[in-house]
Amino acid sequence: MSGEDSIVNVHPSQTQTTLSRSSSANSIYEDCIPTRSWQQQQQQDPHILDRNPESRTWRSTLPSSAHRSLLERYGEMEMERQEIIWEICESEEAFVKRLRVVVELFIRPLRLQNSRSWISGVPPDIARLFDWLEDIVNLHSQLFSALRVARAGQYPLVMRIAEVLRGFVPRLEVHQPYLVRIDEVVAMIKMMTGENGDDFGEFIRIQEERACQGWSLETVLLEPVSRLSQYPMRFKVRDIELPSFVLEDSVHH
């Protein structure tokens, strides 16, 4: 694709990923780790987006006899702790998978081939937000991979998880420029996808109709804001301090 390419010339074959399927070659689910009962659903098709990612519980992955044995040995408080850890891991996975699909649908088709430069017609403010979104996706992909390895190595009880989470807390600052501009850019996208929108707006509408299954780009772009606002409650359980901007964002959202 040359520098003269524009949005209207993006080939449909570049945009076949849907919000229920991701075809990224660099999947975060390719790590070789021991099989566990909680992984069996993922192994059936690691690219299917679970539309109810938090419907399963840690307890539901264990035989009833195993859960009774663990309850008798460790007590109810530890069982509740395991459910919280499970929810953190499961919801992080769902968040990462959804954002990776957004990258496949709306970001990669708009870049020059083998480059981080944008084809003509992508508004600069939106391009910057997309750049920041990719940074967020990369961070949370690493966070989920670390959680996944920790959980796999401590099956069925995860006794040490706080140190994994603490290592990522300072890096949450990658969200800051995104948080500052997200409302403005979402409003811009909404206007451009209206009836009098331009080529960029038409591209967004086509992608949403083809692959989003009822989702809108504006809705999914707000997910990093929602995700960040969920961390204070979840991390508080693990006695982990978060940056002030995360706490402030959780109050405002």
CATH number of the domain residue 198 falls in: 1.20.900.10
Asked if residue 4 belongs to a domain, the reply is no
How many independent structural domains does the chain possess?
1
Asked if residue 6 belongs to a domain, the reply is no
Nearest to 48, CA basis, from 99, 100, 97? 97
Secondary structure element (H or E) that encloses residue 244, with its range: helix 244-252
Range of the domain at 136: 53-235
Per the structure block, which two tokens stand in for 87?
């929810």
Q: Cα-flanking dihedrals φ and ψ of residue 11, to 5°?
A: -75, 140
Angle at 131 between CA 127 and CA 171, to 5 degrees: 150
Predicted TM-score of the model (pTM)? 0.76
Asked if residue 42 belongs to a domain, the reply is no
Per the structure block, which two tokens stand in for 231?
């961390």
Taking the C-alpha atoms of residue 80 and residue 76, their distance in angstroms, rounded to an integer, is 6
- Each residue's pLDDT expressed in tens, for the chain with a length of 253 residues: 444 455 655 654 554 444 444 333 343 333 333 345 444 444 433 333 344 455 689 999 999 999 999 999 999 999 998 998 999 999 999 999 999 999 999 999 999 998 999 999 999 999 999 999 999 999 999 999 999 999 999 989 998 888 888 889 899 999 999 999 999 999 999 999 987 778 999 999 999 888 877 788 999 999 999 999 888 777 665 555 555 655 455 545 5
